[in-house]
Structure 1
Amino acid sequence: MRLLLVEDDEDIAETLVAFLERDGFVVDVADSLAMAQDALESGGFDLVLLDRVLPDGDGVSLITAAKTANRPQRFLLLTALSEIDDRVDALELGADDYVSKPFEPRELLARIRNALRRPLNSQRESRRFGPLVLDVEACSFTVDGKPLMLRRTEALVLEALMARPGQLVLRETLETRVYGYDKFVNANSLESQISRLRRNLTEHTPQVKISAVRGMGYQLILE
């Protein structure tokens, strides 16, 4: 099995390489996002061990880049960022697992083996509308390759709009998608979700807009 270790701390990298090679793994090392990106474009890695805090950015950008390029890859994060939000964000973006530093080597080895058991899908369904991309399996979004972090209800609205980009999606369809069939929906609930979603989109791109069709519904448009 061939691993890519993305780690800028030379001492940690040397220790991990020695440990993993003793267990039979072939390990390549990259000490920056740029070097890791070049290595991943050549392919051939069964798993990427990925530090988050790197000299040229956040390691999770490699996960987003792999998804945008439809290049399936397993990622296991190794990082000192141990807050629950950091872990949740990384897992929602597509990391297979997350190990906080400092870690017990035997636990790391068990997590590596567990991640390697998971099938690596050759194709992930995605939908694109201008700079906006939806990963259908994960129900996650990127804009120009950068994560668009949304609340669950906002993501459900945008997912429904992305199912028919540029076309009218009826208000009733959106309410059912977000709130279900059997729940009472306040008249302003959907408008509140749309308003927050518009603000989020505006912060990330001027191109994608949500247009209202009075009395009927909403549609995504490009400007």
Structure 2
Amino acid sequence: MRILVVQHDSELAAVISGCLRRISFDVDVAADLIDAGHKLGGTAYHGLVTDRAQPDGDVLRLVAAHRRAGWTRPVLMLTALDSHAERAALIEQGADDYLVKPFNTAELATRMRILCRAPVVPAQASRLRVGDLQRGRHDGRFTRAGVPLSLTVTEAAVLQALMLAGGALVTRDQPAKCCAGEQHQPESHAVDTLIGRLRRRLGPPDPIQTVRGIGYRLVDPA
């Protein structure tokens, strides 16, 4: 698997790259957003490790743009700010997980390994449709009423599981597996947070029906 590290500090980039290579990832490094954009446009990366603050701007803009274009690979964000507002912004704008600096490199490697085990939405020949929700036949992108959805890898994995169930109940175990990289929350809260986030991405009317204490199913609100 190939990971892109976006880090302007060359010494820190070398440390991050080294810890990822030790667990058998191939690693490329980008020093700024322009370099990262070029690399993401030309290489099929399996994940992204990036510092939020880059010399030429906020990396969340780059992540959000690629999410809108259908990129569903996991993003691990590094940040110097440890506030509720900062954490919420990172997740809402496309990160799958985050680490507050200074961080432990062994934890970074573990989190990235877990994130890359999460199921990535494949670009299969089959097309899924539930109401006005659809996964594309060729590109695997999700849309609602024809409008592309900006989803993280965990959100896309849960939505795909709900769509594949065809209206049948999906137990909480399925989204719980996708929360392996969600930090600072007990598992039950992580699942609730993930489903709540997915509902906000989908917008009204809410197509996710909760079966309290058991799981969720996808319904056609119409």
Whether TM-score is above 0.5 comes out as: yes
SS in 1 for 2:11: helix
Paired position in structure 1 for 2:40: 40
Q: Check 1:103–1:136 CA distance in 2 against 1; reply closer, same or farther (3 A cut).
A: closer
Paired position in structure 2 for 1:62: 62
| Residues 24-47 of structure 1 deviation map (CA, whole Å, 9 limit, x = unaligned) | 221100011111111111132111
Q: Check 1:136–1:54 CA distance in 2 against 1; reply closer, same or farther (3 A cut).
A: closer
| Residues 83-128 of structure 1 deviation map (CA, whole Å, 9 limit, x = unaligned) | 2211111112231111111111111111011101111124332358
TM-score, scaled to structure 2: 0.57
Paired position in structure 1 for 2:216: none
77-86 or 45-54, larger mean C-alpha shift: 77-86
SS in 1 for 2:203: helix
Identity of paired residues, percent?
35
Taking only aligned residues, the RMSD between alpha carbons, in angstroms, comes to 2.8
Is the 1:134–1:159 Cα contact (8 Å) retained in structure 2?
no
User: What code does the residue aligned with 2:66 have?
Assistant: A
Q: Quick one: distance in 2 between partners of 1:90 and 1:99? A: 11
| Residues 114-166 of structure 1 deviation map (CA, whole Å, 9 limit, x = unaligned) | 1011111243323589xx8654896xxxxxxxxxxxxx9xx96x933xxxxxx
Paired position in structure 2 for 1:82: 82
1:126 has 2:170 as partner:
no
Gaps of 5+ in 1: 139-151, 161-173, 178-223
Q: Quick one: distance in 2 between partners of 1:11 and 1:124? A: 37
Displacement of 1:64 in angstroms is 0.8
| Residues 179-219 of structure 1 deviation map (CA, whole Å, 9 limit, x = unaligned) | xxxxxxxxxxxxxxxxxxxxxxxxxxxxxxxxxxxxxxxxx
Higher relative contact order (CA 8 A, sep 6+): 2
Q: Radius of gyration: which is bigger? A: 1
Paired residue total: 146
